Every structure is written in structure tokens, then in C-alpha cells.
């Protein structure tokens, strides 16, 4: 059991479903990890990508980490010898890496890790949620996972009208909870956006807002005071992710739930958030991205750190809005997952035939992550294998 080739390509993605709004230069890296295992005469290939929001990682993957995987040979085999062991593969990829200096290194490793789990679950003939549950001693029933629809980015024109149309579309698809962006306009205009969306929802606890780490300390305080009366589902990424003092200050004066973790990329970051960020385990939400945190081995370390600090797994709602995070939430018994119904295509969203029922969706039962259940995405992945 070995990896014989790794292919990668960095491709553009957009926050918007319509072409009249620029994509903002965003991209992500898609990878294909080719094993020496064959099924129906073809090699088993694991696919992955750099999730959403951190840009592509082609250079680090190509020059630093993929060669380690290919050179590892039989070191990657499971103890039984009948599969690739993603944990052993992760150890091999990280061999010789110094502590700290996470930068974008963690995303490059997480990209390859996603593909390794896809390959291993395919070899085992299991959907990832079941394979991962077995590998970690968790319990996955394959039950529907609570999801919320992410979106609500700023439109260049007719912003409020287009925002409310977008939210209506989420509700028509079966979503019950949504998240929109704030922090990019004057606070009064953001409050107008919030109120426009609240007029479409049954209650304020169905709307979360994401400031995308834009606020300085004083702006964060003003926003917290202004939004506290709404009682929103959560207020996410309020300031610089490493400004734990501001996090703690807002937690003292803002009673409704906060959310943090998307831009924290290691177990050490999570430990500092737990120690110094002032977050409340009885209400706040943790939105770490499994692919951005050195992949599943790194994410599992974060889960253990936060559990040791008194957090329940149901506080975790992984960022990403795609199939990988959905499987992780199902396998580990997390509180839910993000959904990107039309953003960041073809990577955002779930199976082409997925049904969102009452704000919940099942992960696909296809072997692996199930990228094959998304026609546009699997076409892109398979193009990596062409000569």
C-alpha cells in the first residue's frame, strides 16, 4: 500500500453565484493522490482541496509535502496491511517540520490529508463518516446533520434587495438558519442588512453574522453594543483572530453567543483561545476548519484541547460548507456544519441530489468523501489525472 503519484492544480473560485460580481482573486488547490490499489482495473484515487478562504497551496504541496508522501513507500500501510493509514501518512508528511510557523503550511498539509482520507475510505469501501468514526472510536449513524446556509456577501449594487433574494433562495432549499457578512460597511448599514434578513426569518436565533475578523477593538465594542439587543444566533470572527484580549472584552459585554476559530490553525492556537479568549463553553460556537488545521489529525487535537477545557463536541460547527466538513461533523458527533449552497463552486455544497430537510442533510453513502456525487466537481478532479 503506497502512494505512487500526487497531482495538483490551483483553480479560481468565487464567493458569488453570478458573474457580475468579481471573485476577488480567490483560488484553491485541488489534488489527486494516486494509490497502488486497483479496483475494476483502475487505481484508487483520493481527491482533496484547500477548503475555502485561504488561497491555493500548490507550491508547498508540489515542492515540499507531496514528495514525502511518494517517497514513503510501504511506510503508509495500515497495521493490517490492507489500506493506507492516514495517520501514518500525516506523520510522514510532517516529519522534520518544526513547531510553530503555521502560516499556510497547515493548509497545504490539510489539502493532502483530505485526499488521503478519501482514498483510505474508498479502499475500505465505506463513506468517510463511517470510516472516520471507526478510526477514531466515535459513533456515526449517518443521521442528518444540522447545517446552516453561509453567504450574505456584499453585492456591488442593490445590495439589500439581492441579499434578501439570496436568503429567500436558502429558505426555499430547505435551510432554516443562515449566516451573512458584516464589517465591510458602516455599522448603520450593516444593521439595515441584519434587519432586512430578520424580516424573513422566524426569529433572531436563525441568523448568525460574520465580521470576518475586520473590527479593531473599538469597532468591535461598538458593534457588540449595537447587535446585542437582537439576540442573534452568533456573532463570528469579531476581530484579529489572535487578539484574545478583545475576544475576552467582547465576551464580557455581549451576552448572546459568539463564534471563533475559523482563522486559528493549530491546537496551540485553540489552547490560547480557551485560556485567554474569554469564550463561554455554555453558549459559544467553535468554527475551526478541518482542512485548514493540518487536516483531521490536527483537527482532532483541537477537539481534545477544547474538550479538556470543558467544551462539548456539539459546540463545534466546522467551517467550509462542503462534503468533507459534513462527513467530519457526522462522524465526530459535532453540533452541525456550514453549507455553501451556491458559493465557491464547484467546491461548495453537498451531493447533487442532496435534500435539505428542516435544516438537516445526510452525508452521501458513496465510498470516500463522495465527490463523485457532484458532477461538476468530480469532472474537475478527474482532469488532474490526464497526461
CATH code of the domain containing 214: 3.20.20.120
Residue 207 has pLDDT above 80, yes or no: yes
- Mean pLDDT for 132-156 is 89
Residue 17 in any domain: the answer is: yes
Catalytic residue among 319, 322, 327, 342: 319
Catalytic residue among 181, 322, 327, 342: 181
Q: How many CB atoms lie within 10 A of CB 271?
A: 17
Residue 358 in any domain: the answer is: yes
Residue 247 in any domain: the answer is: yes
Q: Indicate if 192 and 297 belong to the same structural domain.
A: yes
- Residue-wise pLDDT tens digits, 87-131: 999 999 999 888 887 778 999 999 999 999 999 999 999 999 999
Q: Indicate if 166 and 246 belong to the same structural domain.
A: yes
Quick one: cell of 231?
A: 439576540
| 258 DSSP β-pair partners | 235
* pTM attached to this predicted model: 0.95
- Residue-wise pLDDT tens digits, 260-319: 999 999 999 999 999 999 999 999 999 999 999 999 999 999 999 999 999 999 999 999
- Residue-wise pLDDT tens digits, 370-380: 999 999 999 99
Give me the domain span that covers residue 314: 145-374
| Residue whose C-alpha is closest to residue 236's, from 219, 253, 222, 215 | 215
Residue 135 in any domain: the answer is: no
Q: Indicate if 366 and 319 belong to the same structural domain.
A: yes
Residue 59 in any domain: the answer is: yes
Please state whether beta strands 360-361 and 145-150 pair in parallel, antiparallel, or not at all (unpaired). antiparallel
Cβ atoms of 163 and 193 closer than 8 Å: yes
Q: Does 319 qualify as catalytic in the annotation?
A: yes
Residue 140 has pLDDT above 90, yes or no: no
Q: Indicate if 353 and 323 belong to the same structural domain.
A: yes
Residue 294 in any domain: the answer is: yes
- CA dist 182 to 152, 175, 176, 343, 371, Å? 9, 20, 20, 17, 31
Q: Indicate if 209 and 304 belong to the same structural domain.
A: yes
Question: Which pLDDT score, from 0 to 100, does residue 20 have?
Answer: 53
Please state whether beta strands 27-39 and 42-49 pair in parallel, antiparallel, or not at all (unpaired). antiparallel
- Mean pLDDT for 26-38 is 95
- Structurally, the chain folds into a number of domains equal to 2
Q: Indicate if 199 and 345 belong to the same structural domain.
A: yes
Residue 47 C-beta-side C-alpha neighbours within 13 Å: 22
Q: Indicate if 215 and 331 belong to the same structural domain.
A: yes
* Three-state SS at 133: helix
Cβ atoms of 46 and 116 closer than 8 Å: yes
Q: How far, in Å, CA of 29 to CA of 9, rounded?
A: 5
Dump the DSSP string for 188-204: HHHHHHHHHHHTTSS-G
Residue 139 in any domain: the answer is: no
Q: Does 102 qualify as catalytic in the annotation?
A: no
Q: How far, in Å, CA of 263 to CA of 270, rounded?
A: 10
Amino acid at each position: 500500500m503506497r502512494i505512487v503519484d500526487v497531482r495538483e492544480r490551483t483553480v479560481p473560485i468565487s464567493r458569488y453565484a453570478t458573474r457580475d460580481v468579481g471573485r476577488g482573486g480567490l483560488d484553491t488547490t485541488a489534488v489527486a493522490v494516486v494509490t497502488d490499489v486497483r479496483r475494476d482495473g483502475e487505481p484508487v484515487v483520493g481527491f482533496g482541496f484547500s477548503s475555502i478562504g485561504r488561497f491555493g497551496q500548490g507550491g508547498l504541496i508540489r515542492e515540499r509535502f507531496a514528495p514525502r508522501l511518494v517517497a514513503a513507500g510501504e511506510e503508509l500501510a495500515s497495521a493490517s496491511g490492507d489500506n493506507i493509514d492516514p495517520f501514518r501518512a500525516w506523520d510522514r508528511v510532517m516529519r522534520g517540520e518544526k513547531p510553530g510557523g503555521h502560516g499556510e503550511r497547515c493548509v497545504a498539509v490539510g489539502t493532502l490529508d483530505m485526499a488521503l482520507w478519501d482514498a483510505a475510505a474508498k479502499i475500505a469501501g465505506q463513506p468517510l463518516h463511517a470510516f472516520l468514526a471507526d478510526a477514531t472510536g466515535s459513533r456515526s449513524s449517518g443521521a442528518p446533520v444540522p447545517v446552516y446556509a453561509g453567504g450574505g456577501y456584499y453585492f456591488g449594487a442593490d445590495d439589500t434587495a439581492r441579499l434578501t433574494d439570496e436568503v429567500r433562495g436558502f429558505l426555499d432549499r430547505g435551510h432554516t438558519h443562515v449566516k451573512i457578512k458584516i464589517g465591510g460597511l458602516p455599522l448603520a448599514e450593516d444593521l439595515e442588512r441584519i434587519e432586512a434578513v430578520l424580516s424573513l426569518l422566524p426569529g433572531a436565533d436563525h441568523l448568525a453574522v460574520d465580521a470576518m475578523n475586520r473590527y479593531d477593538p473599538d469597532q468591535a465594542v461598538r458593534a457588540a453594543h449595537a447587535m446585542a439587543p437582537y439576540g442573534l444566533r452568533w456573532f463570528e470572527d469579531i476581530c484579529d483572530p489572535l487578539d484574545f484580549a478583545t475576544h475576552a472584552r467582547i465576551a464580557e459585554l455581549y451576552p448572546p453567543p459568539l463564534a471563533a476559530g475559523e482563522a486559528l490553525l493549530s491546537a496551540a492556537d485553540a489552547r490560547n483561545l480557551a485560556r485567554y479568549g474569554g469564550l463561554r463553553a455554555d453558549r459559544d460556537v467553535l468554527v475551526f476548519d478541518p482542512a485548514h488545521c493540518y487536516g483531521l489529525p490536527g483537527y482532532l487535537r483541537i477537539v481534545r484541547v477544547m474538550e479538556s477545557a470543558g467544551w462539548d463536541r456539539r459546540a463545534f460547527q466546522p467551517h467550509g460548507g462542503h462534503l468533507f466538513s459534513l462527513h467530519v461533523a457526522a462522524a465526530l458527533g459535532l453540533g452541525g456544519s456550514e453549507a455553501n449552497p451556491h458559493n465557491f463552486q464547484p467546491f461548495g455544497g453537498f451531493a447533487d441530489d442532496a435534500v435539505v430537510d428542516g435544516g438537516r442533510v445526510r452525508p452521501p453513502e458513496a465510498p470516500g468523501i463522495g465527490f463523485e456525487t457532484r458532477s461538476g466537481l468530480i469532472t474537475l478532479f478527474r482532469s488532474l489525472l490526464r497526461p
